[in-house]
Structure 1
Amino acid sequence: MNKTALIVIDMINTYDHKDAELLLPSAKAVVPVLTGLLERARRHEVPVVYVNDNFGEWRSHHGELLDRVLAGPHADLVAPVRPDENSLFVLKARHSIFYETPLTYLLKQQGVQELVLCGQVTEQCVLYSALDAHIRHFDVVIPKDAVAHIHADLARAALLMMERNMGARVCLSEDLWK
């Protein structure tokens, strides 16, 4: 059995970007699902790694980013899914969780071979991260009810691409860590 890690993508978010109004309804639907997924993963001692945009603030650390978001108008979307004391945290600059980050090294050090990708945005950061995971020979799982989207049609296409082109297992979150 391959060691699995749950990767939470870009959920520490201010939602003050140009597509936020389109993303918010989907993010609101994903938060309760993701909360349950996080609880089950932690109960089964699955490593949880948050990989998050840094909002262009390279002098910040993850605690500062979290404080800023929790003080904002969408704290209700972040508080339930925030990192706990055992969570790992990686800052990223661009769409992929791997681009210019130490994530590959961290995962290899932990002996992780399978990645469960959740968070946002399905048709952007999740898709590009799944491709980068695939080319690094990680097994990829996408719980389709635990990823938020901006455009539903593009999200459906992205899930299909991840499944067909990258061999990702697309499932429901309830199928993981029962």
Structure 2
Amino acid sequence: MLSGLLMIVDMQNDFVTKNGSLYFPQAEKVKPVVIDIVKDRMKREYDLIFTKDWHDPNDLEFKRFPVHCIKETYGAEIFDDLKFIIRDYSKINFVMKKRFSAFYGTNFDDILKNLSPKHVEICGVDTNICVMYTVEELKNRDYDVVIYENGVASYDEKLHEFAISQMRDVLGAKIEKWRSFNAQH
């Protein structure tokens, strides 16, 4: 059965919680938006896919970025408010990834083939890294992609804007503003 799918990219403590190793203040603006999107899509019985950076302690990525999201640590977990909201929802898959794209070295392709979504909606962090590189591969597989611009963020506003323009103008993803759950009903 064709259905909608919401993908929540890397909303993990090391990125979006104060004192996280790669925390950035702009994450505070997207956390409530992501929560609102997730609540709405759960009410509509969407499938949810959460990506998680999931690194070994000696990952090669740490030559470019500070150590972050070591598997099985607090920093690698979904931030607490969101984790609480999804705790009893059954239509969830987690994709543990070691690189920017959710496809690289994961079972994400198989999950998508199994779920057969008619479109993929995206929110999360970082716009110019894991969001953009996953959107690129979704579009190369001919998925319709909607990105909620106010539900994604980056540590750098110029890179955020660049990534939004690349995903819209080059990759052909649809960019929308999320309207509050309460405003929709």
Q: TM-score range by the shorter chain?
A: 0.7 to 0.9
Deviation at 1:175, TM superposition (A): 8.0
Task: Give CA deviations for 1:88-134 in whole Å, capped at 9, x if unaligned.
Answer: 11101100011111111111111213111111100111111110100
Query: Per the alignment, do residues 175 and 161 of structure 1 end up closer, same or farther by CA in structure 2, a change over 3 Å counting?
Result: farther
Higher mean alpha-carbon deviation, 166-175 vs 31-40, is at 166-175
User: Is residue 168–residue 175 contact of structure 2 (8 Å, CA) maintained in 1?
Assistant: yes
Give the equivalent residue in structure 2 for 1:158: 163
**Structure whose residues are more often helix by fraction:** 1
Separation in 2 of the partners of 1:120 and 1:106? 21
Give the equivalent residue in structure 2 for 1:61: none
Deviation at 1:11, TM superposition (A): 0.8
Tell me which of 159, 165, 168 is aligned to 2:173.
168
Separation in 1 of the partners of 2:40 and 2:125? 20
Gaps of 5+ in 1: 58-63
Separation in 2 of the partners of 1:39 and 1:118? 13
Give the equivalent residue in structure 2 for 1:88: 93
Task: Give CA deviations for 1:25-57 in whole Å, capped at 9, x if unaligned.
Answer: 111111001110000000000111101111326
Letter in 1 for 2:79: V
Separation in 2 of the partners of 1:137 and 1:34? 25
Give the equivalent residue in structure 1 for 2:129: 124
Give the equivalent residue in structure 2 for 1:40: 40
Identity within the alignment, %:
25
SS in 1 for 2:159: helix
What TM-score, normalized to structure 1? 0.82
Gaps of 5+ in 2: 58-70
Cα RMSD between the aligned structures? 2.6
Query: Per the alignment, do residues 2 and 154 of structure 1 end up closer, same or farther by CA in structure 2, a change over 3 Å counting?
Result: farther
Q: Which 4+ runs in 1 deviate beyond 4 A?
A: none
What is the count of residue pairs matched by the alignment? Answer: 163
Give the equivalent residue in structure 2 for 1:60: none
SS in 1 for 2:103: coil
Letter in 1 for 2:80: A
Deviation at 1:84, TM superposition (A): 2.7
Separation in 2 of the partners of 1:161 and 1:125? 14
